[in-house]
Amino acid sequence: MRDWNAMSDEEFRQAAIDFINQHCPADLRYREERPRFEESRVWYLAMAAEGWLAPGWPVAYGGMGLKQSKHLIYLEEWTRNGLPRVMEQGVLNIGPALIANGTEEQITEFLPKIFTAEHLWCQGFSEPGAGSDLASLRTEARIQGDEFVINGHKIWTSGALDANHIYVLARTDKDVKKQLGISFIMMDMRQPGITVKPIVTMAGDAEFAEVFFDNARAPLKSLVGGLNKGWTVAKSLLGFERVWAGSPHMGRSAMDQLVQLAILTGKATDPVTLDRIAQLQLDLADGTAMYERLAQELRQGHSFGFEVSTLKIMATETYARITELLVELAGERGGFAGEVAFGDGHSGVLRAFLSARTPMIYGGTVQIHRNMLTKGVLGLPG
């Protein structure tokens, strides 16, 4: 097994670039829409076969075991080279959740099937009326023999059209505080009683879907973390997601695009423009330093705290502000879809702007995170 962390940052970055150029098909790169899994399967399996699929997993479980500095380079090059998202829920969320909270039987059964793409996962958390206030969810799971019987409705489920497995939060006890009566259950979607309905986005694709459960079933052994302990598992999982959302890699990629556009539009010598770009670069540097510090604390075994909320707010809002200036510099062409010509080059300005909206929502909206900070850190009333 190759020791990626023993490489210099420059060597690792070049190894990532070489791997991308050798294995990722050109028609999958810089896509406006998220490709369906059948299109991206070859790339997914190439990453799995060559050991590039799970950068954050420990080596013992088949991952790369990257330190955060290397992981950041990984994310930067995936973004910079326009690589597609490929059913990441298994790698980003359910895998780490099982490593942290699952039984040995669950780890042995489920983790290898993520690498082979036998199991394609989606997340069943949000519901109508239970998005940011996730603990208000109404999907129920009752025990019948050696199975859970699940009824309810999930929404904004990314990748559900291609997934064959889903992990859900379901209410298993109505008589306790709402956070205490929730369980985390893994389910096979290839069964009667599960209906998936696509949600077409403003971009014209169906990245999201609604999922309906009508007496769907899951074995009791698919419970993760214990009965009524799902909120604890979900918080750890959302912690992984929020750290990922707080990574500065998206903002750094957008900054590269902003600097290039300033040059292409002849505004790189304008003092006001340079001042605004410099301020955003300083904000990005602050976010990067915070990310590295939190990553170091996590490596030392510290649990997720309020810092994750601060990181998420800073990273996503800085990313959004960078793309807002990007659209402003593009002028009337900032509203055009696709790659637009600017001088001797081109830039996908609108795509970058729209892409920067979603990180402020998933993993908890920035407004919810501000509420968490005001109550948990400042002690203000909710």
DSSP helix, strand, coil percent of the chain (3-state; round to 5) = 50, 15, 35
Structure tokens at 359: 């990180």
Distance of alpha carbon 98 from alpha carbon 94, whole angstroms: 6
| Alpha helix ranges (H) inside the chain | 9-23, 37-50, 68-80, 89, 95-101, 104-115, 230-245, 249-264, 271-299, 306-330, 349-355, 366-376
Task: Give the other-Cβ count within 10 Å of 289's Cβ.
Answer: 11
Among the listed residues 76, 127, 207, 241, the single catalytic one is 241
Are the C-beta atoms of residues 163 and 89 closer than 8 Å to each other? yes
Distance of alpha carbon 213 from alpha carbon 366, whole angstroms: 30
Are the C-beta atoms of residues 150 and 168 closer than 8 Å to each other? yes
Distance of alpha carbon 214 from alpha carbon 194, whole angstroms: 6
Task: Give the other-Cβ count within 10 Å of 109's Cβ.
Answer: 16
Are the C-beta atoms of residues 93 and 119 closer than 8 Å to each other? no
Residue 328 annotated in active site: no
| Alpha helix ranges (H) inside 88-136 | 89, 95-101, 104-115
Residues 6+ apart with CB under 8 A from 172: 140, 141, 142, 143, 148, 181, 182, 183, 227, 228, 230
3-state secondary structure of 152: strand
Structure tokens at 325: 């200036």
So which residues are the catalytic ones? 241
